[in-house]
Structure 1
Amino acid sequence: MSTNSSPHDSQMSRKAVTAATIGTALEWFDFTLYGAVSATVLPKLFFPAMEPTAGLLASLATFGVGLAARPLGAIICGYLGDKLGRRNLMLATVTMMGLASVLMGLLPTYNQVGVIAPILLVLLRIIQGSALGGESTGAQLMALEYAAPDRRGRYSGLLGLCSPLSQIMANAILMGLAATLSTEQFMSFGWRIPFVMSFVLVLVAIYIRLKVDETPAFVALKKTSHKPANSPLKSVLGNHRKTILRLMLFFCSPAALFYLIVIFSLSYLTKHLGMSQSMGFMSLMVANIFAIFGALAGGYLSDRWGRKKALAFGSCMTLVILMVYFPILNTQNAAAIMAIMGLFLGFTQFQSGIQPVAFAEAFPTQVRFSGSALAYTGANLLVGGPMPMIAVWLMSQSNNSPWPLVSLCAVINLVSLAMIVIGPETRGVDLNNVTPEESVDSVATPLYSK
């Protein structure tokens, strides 16, 4: 396929990937920010009537509500994105997420309005989670449906760095506020500042997205005899069940390992090994720096090697690192811990940097949003979100031995690798394809290859 494009197309392509990356980073920033304060600030301000442990669990449950709302948001946004287009929906999701975050920063506490405070907090978390469920896939399609076939992987890698970048930003801002404000000031108003600051970032994201036209693939769809499906969800489940299942099972491993590293590992270092929280947070910050480079490398190499080879390489590397991960953590050597956490999260995010393009190339235009969103959120719902709780339970049942957990993750990793191996190579397929009956798992002839 020719990769020639007009200056206007190239300019719009850059605008699209910029809009997608900034918007997604903003939404992950808000989501990560909430996770950081849910274990420290919120129990005291919104659940003070409970004893400390119950208050902490209640606060963490509100974090879980946001995760649980993501599949609902994916289904709704998938339907609207396939029916109405990508651009308008992306404006809606970033606005919803931003407004919910600003309102969180302005919420009255339990001592001010009583039980209404935690109720409002939960409602805003549902809005946040629903918006992120649509944003994650919608932003990917906005960027990738504009990209030239030989550069889609690089754009995909840029989208993959949003999560680790947002974690670095959110934790750095909170650490800075905690260092400059007294405990009383931080509990009173300091924690609210980054939430309210989201308003400025939302305005920037909306401004940039207003400058982006509807994607070429959706415009081409409207010009053909194939109109958007009356029920994209019914259509994608009817014609692409195997593709959705294969992609979901593939992404179960990166999703599970991501939460294992960024949530459970911190608890393992501090509670099981008795290391300081500052050491845990520093290791996680270093790991997220590795993850940024991992996402970029994954996207770039998927353009050079193809999606299958690059994904298989990343999957094999995570399997190898998994075997030595906990023994190296157990050494309690700071440099070794930072290195192994960095490599583990880096190769996990290596696969996540390829995920957007691999999912986008698997479905025709009129069901692409629905199919991609179902596979992505399905993996997170099935094993991603529950992984920290599963890890805690397995450790408690094995006298704090990590090997049952390692065995489970190895099985998930091997299933993921099998899904990569049996899937077709999709590098360079025509994203303007609008044939709903044609499943990529049965028909996949790349138009661009090296």
Structure 2
Amino acid sequence: MTLSQSQAGDPESQSHGATQVTVMSKRAVVSGTLGSALEYFDFTVYGLLAATLFPKLFFHDLGPSAGLLASFATFGAGFLARPLGAIVFGHLGDKYGRRPVLHLTLLLMGVSSVVIGLLPTGQGIVIASILVGLRFLQGFSLGGEATGSQLMVMEHAPSNRRGFFGSIPSSGSPISQVCANLLLVLLTSVLTEQQWESWGWRLPFLMSIAIVAVAAVVRMKLDETPVFTVVKDDVQQAGAIERDSGLGVVAAFPKTVFLLTLAWGGVLSTFYLVTVYGLSLMKSEGGMQSNTAFLILVVGSALAVPACLFGGWISDRVGRRKTILTALAGCAIGMGAFFSFMHFGSVPLVGLAVIIAMCSTQLAGGPYAAFYAEQFPTKYRFSGSAISITFSNLVFSAPAPFVATALADSFGIYAVMALTLVIIALSAFVITRLREGGGIDLEEIGDTAAGSVDQAESGAVQSPTTSDFEEMDRTIPAQSRPEQKLLTD
């Protein structure tokens, strides 16, 4: 598959296979980072309020424990909607392009966040149900936004720096953690309790409109990705109208989707147990004030930003799998320390555990966008990446605070720690079963290279055995392989 003549003369259209940084690749990074910032800012704020304030505002009649569980359940509703959004927007993104989908998801995200900030409180089941619906809409749009913005960066980025370029939007997660926690600390410090519960909590949601406006302007100036344009041109020249996408990727590559779903479980469990459930735990078990717990998360998130960027950078040199496996080891250490130190009520010890856990999740978060994108060919990449990561969020993120609360009530917090360590170990094993894609031109990842064992047995496509990947490696210049040469900036 080759670029058309018109594209071959445009240096901005060659960034996916070349090593230069173009204007369009920079715009893609800015667009993706703003989208990621909005995504994680809203989710962080909602998660923090779900653990502290929403049980009182929306679920007061249920009592303290049941109200907290109901609040965490609404938090999980956003994750329940993500797979549906991934299927719908993944299909549209693989069929019509990444760019139009990103305009739609940005609009949906902004509207749903602003309306949450306008909801009246203490109105019973009706308003609580609307809150769940808006949270569902947030998750639905995020199912396309998270992967779409990452792919826009991946497919515009130089092939030898995909890990680092992808880590920049990924750093929107810890940056948003810092901003969200600092804002809540500021608001709870300067406002009275009555002001905070009446209108202060609404401000973070209403502020989302500013991020949406800036991101929309940037995305208007962003071109469609070169690799998608090539595939679209080839399909049109062949006279084909429909191409498999959406749920078709599950039928085409079931093993790849299944393994990628499990692969991110350790990182997701660590992240949401610390940032959502951990906030409640630091208050109940650690005896800390809300402001203290917020500040611990701020410090951990701030230090996680360079960890995320370093993870992407180093993955271009030593490979994606080694980077992620190292990060998972850090997650295990951090979570073991977090639960073990909680009973001491020591702010420095708990803070150290949070820093280790947060930095480890973001060390893995740096290369994850490139790692997922490199598992699928272009015509399945949006659907495959989106469905895999949203399924993983559905299984490991959505129920994390809910399961942890119920498990701790029944068996104690060490049961939560044990379950988390098992999930981390499972993820580490699965990572070793997925291929290393660093340095590969995304155009060169064809159906046979990304196919699954399931399809090989049915005769649909060739199995992704070691020999397949060795054959692909022989088609890639040696200098592009991260394990053979340190790529220069």
Q: Same fold (TM over 0.5)?
A: yes
Q: 1:153 corresponds to which residue?
A: 163
Are the aligned partners of 1:82 and 1:228 in contact in 2 as well (CA < 8 Å)? no
Name the structure 2 match of 1:6: 11
**Cα distance in 2, alignment partners of residues 158 and 284 from structure 1:** 20
- 1:335-377 Cα shifts (integer Å, max 9, x gaps): 2221221012211221122111100011001110111112111
> C-alpha deviations, 1:28-73, integer Å up to 9, x for none?
2122222233344444544455555544443333222112111111
Tell me what 1:420 maps to.
Answer: 431
Q: Which consecutive unaligned segments of at least 5 residues does structure 1 have?
A: none
Residue 450 (structure 2) pairs with residue 439 (structure 1): yes
Of 431-440 and 254-263, deviating more is 431-440
C-alpha separation between the residues in 1 aligned to 2:219 and 2:197?
Answer: 35
Q: Report how many residues are paired.
A: 443
Equivalent residue, structure 2, for 1:262: 275
When the two chains are superposed, the root-mean-square deviation of aligned CA atoms in Å is: 2.5
Amino acid in the other structure paired with 2:205:
F
Any conservation in 2 of the 1:221–1:228 contact (CA below 8 Å)?
no
Q: 1:61 to 1:414 in 2, by over 3 A?
A: closer
Aligned letter for 2:435? P
Percent identity among equivalent residues? 37
User: Could you say which residue in structure 2 is the equivalent of 1:125?
Assistant: 135
Counterpart of 2:222 (choices 212, 216, 219) is 212
Paired residues of 1:256 and 1:385 also in contact (CA < 8 A) = no
Q: Partner residue of 2:113?
A: 101
How far apart in 2 are the matches of 1:109 and 1:275? 27
In structure 2, distance between residues paired with 1:126 and 1:222:
32
3-state SS of 1:353 partner: helix
Matched residue SS, 2:432? helix
Is the 8 Å Cα contact of residues 289 and 342 (structure 1) preserved in structure 2?
Answer: no
Distance (Å, rounded) in 1 between the aligned partners of 2:44 and 2:330? 27
Q: For residues 238 and 229 of structure 1, do their structure 2 counterparts lie closer, same or farther at Cα, with a shift above 3 Å needed?
A: farther
Distance 2:101 2:274 in 1: 32
- Report the Cα distance in structure 2 between the residues aligned to 1:264 and 1:428, rounded to whole angstroms: 38
**Aligned residue for 1:203?**
213
Decide whether the 8 Å contact of 2:47 with 2:276 is kept in 1: no
**Alpha-carbon distance in structure 2 between the residues aligned to 1:115 and 1:412:** 35
**1:17-416 matched pairs, under 5 angstroms:** 17-47=29-59, 50-51=62-63, 53-111=65-123, 116-225=126-235, 230-398=243-411, 400=412, 402=414, 404-416=415-427
> Could you state the TM-score of these two structures normalised by the residue count of structure 2?
0.84
- Distance in 2 between residues matched to 1:435 and 1:193, nearest whole Å: 47
Describe the superposition over 1:159-216 as per-residue Cα deviations: whole angstroms up to 9, x where unpaired. 2212221122122222222322333333333222222222222111100111100011
3-state SS in 1 of match to 2:439: coil
CA pair 35-309 structure 1, distance change in 2 beyond 3 A: closer
Alpha-carbon distance in structure 2 between the residues aligned to 1:28 and 1:73: 17
Q: What do residues 272-298 of structure 1 show as CA deviations (whole Å, max 9, x unaligned)?
A: 233333332222221112221221111
Contact 2:150 2:369 in 1 (8 A): yes
Structure 1 residues 335 and 12: alpha-carbon distance in aligned structure 2, compared to 1, 3 A threshold: same
Deviations 1:257-311 (A, max 9, x none): 1122222333333212333333322222211122212211111110111112212
Q: 1:418 to 1:236 in 2, by over 3 A?
A: same
Which deviates further from its counterpart, 331-340 or 195-204?
Answer: 331-340
Q: Measured at CA, do residues 50 and 87 of structure 1 come closer, stay the same or move farther in structure 2, by a change above 3 Å?
A: same
Q: 1:15 is matched with which residue?
A: 27
Contact 1:26/1:201 (<8 A) preserved = yes
Q: 1:46 to 1:252 in 2, by over 3 A?
A: closer
Q: Secondary structure of the equivalent of 1:356?
A: helix
Q: Compared with structure 1, are the counterparts of its residues 40 and 279 closer, same or farther at alpha carbon in structure 2 (3 Å cutoff)?
A: closer
C-alpha distance in structure 2 between counterparts of 1:228 and 1:170, whole Å = 45
